Amino acid sequence: MFSTQDTLVQRIHRELLDHNDEELELELSEDGHDLNALFDEHAPDGSEKEIRRLYFSELFRLQGELVKLQSWVVKTGHKVVILFEGRDAAGKGGVIKRITQRLNPRVCRVAALPAPNDRERTQWYFQRYVSHLPAAGEIVLFDRSWYNRAGVEQVMGFCTDDQYEEFFRTVPEFERMLARSGIQLIKYWFSISDQEQHLRFLSRIHDPLKQWKLSPMDLESRRRWEAYTKAKEIMLERTHISEAPWWVVHADDKKKARLNCIHHLLGQMPYEEVELPTIELPQRVRQEDYSRSPTPPELIVPQLY
């Protein structure tokens, strides 16, 4: 699969660099740094530094648009559900993080449900997802969703054939019900190649900060790659409806996938900039008889840094 061992080492190095960039994203935006001060603005076109600089610049621009979208959703009472599906290590979590990074968690929240418990397994299949649906002025991002039944549950044998077929009979009507109730449903599938997933799994194995992302289910998905491919193809074919079509994001390049998905998402809603009221900081009220009590030394965290 790889021409030399050096190729694999270089690829893992790029994965580690991408992880470091995630922290840099926060520092750049929160501390008001100038992008050109951190990346060589004279670097030749196509260089790694220039590509990274352009990525950060465009990401921050799109996140600014997401803030405008959020204000419009709140003002209009729009209700949005966004599903993120795809293979393990396809980059769903990275995109979700970039979407929510600058937004109000009371307006835009993430639903990442664990495996159903014994009680939930006896409920109507969609029941535990319904409680996470948005009210007016809210956006909900599902990090995996009810489409677990069409993917992992079917491939791993966690549902019966009858349950699998019932899902396909029910889900189009369920999603049409959401649309009729005023909920806009947007569905993304993140697509990566066999080789790219293999490399990302290897990078997680070698990165102690990411090893927690590798579950036994993830490792089993590598062995059953072809079964997951077939399940995905059936799912897209049988659940692509006009009220809630599927959108496929090519995700072999993580950074491009993030930008492409956010740009596309912004284009799915007719938002416009909302004029916000001018904010004035009030003067502090001072009382003559007030004096601040000293903090007991035993309560103070030691200042080691």
pLDDT digits (tens, 9 = 90+) for 116-154: 999 999 999 999 999 999 999 999 999 999 999 999 999
Q: How large is the average pLDDT for residues 245-254?
A: 96
Q: How large is the average pLDDT for residues 45-61?
A: 84
DSSP letter string over 142-182?
EES-GGGTTTHHHHHT-S-HHHHHHHHHHHHHHHHHHHHTT
Q: How large is the average pLDDT for residues 158-181?
A: 98
The C-alpha atoms of residue 117 and residue 89 are separated, in whole angstroms, by 25
Q: What is the mean pLDDT of the chain?
A: 89
Six-digit token string for 72 = 């419009």
Predicted confidence at residue 1, as pLDDT, reads 47
Contact 112, 53 (CB under 8 A): no
Predicted confidence at residue 207, as pLDDT, reads 74
Least confident of 82-96, 158-172, 191-205: 191-205
Contact 110, 141 (CB under 8 A): yes
pTM for the predicted model, two decimal places:
0.85
Predicted confidence at residue 33, as pLDDT, reads 53
Beta bridge partners of 142: 83, 111
Predicted confidence at residue 24, as pLDDT, reads 65
**Is it the case that residue 168 has pLDDT exceeding 80?**
yes
Residue with tokens 């492409």: 260
- The CB density around residue 82, as the number of other CB atoms within 10 Å, is 23
The band of 155, judged by pLDDT with boundaries at 50, 70 and 90, is very high
Predicted confidence at residue 39, as pLDDT, reads 56
Burial class of residue 204, CB neighbours in 10 A (0-12, 13-18, 19+): buried
Contact 166, 226 (CB under 8 A): no
DSSP letter string over 20-80?
HHHHHHHHHHHTT--HHHHS-TTSPTT-HHHHHHHHHHHHHHHHHHHHHHHHHHHHHT-EE
The band of 99, judged by pLDDT with boundaries at 50, 70 and 90, is very high
Contact 149, 159 (CB under 8 A): yes
Q: Which of 174, 108, 191, 116 is nearest to 148 (CA)?
A: 116
Predicted confidence at residue 130, as pLDDT, reads 98
* Residues of the chain above pLDDT 90, percent: 71
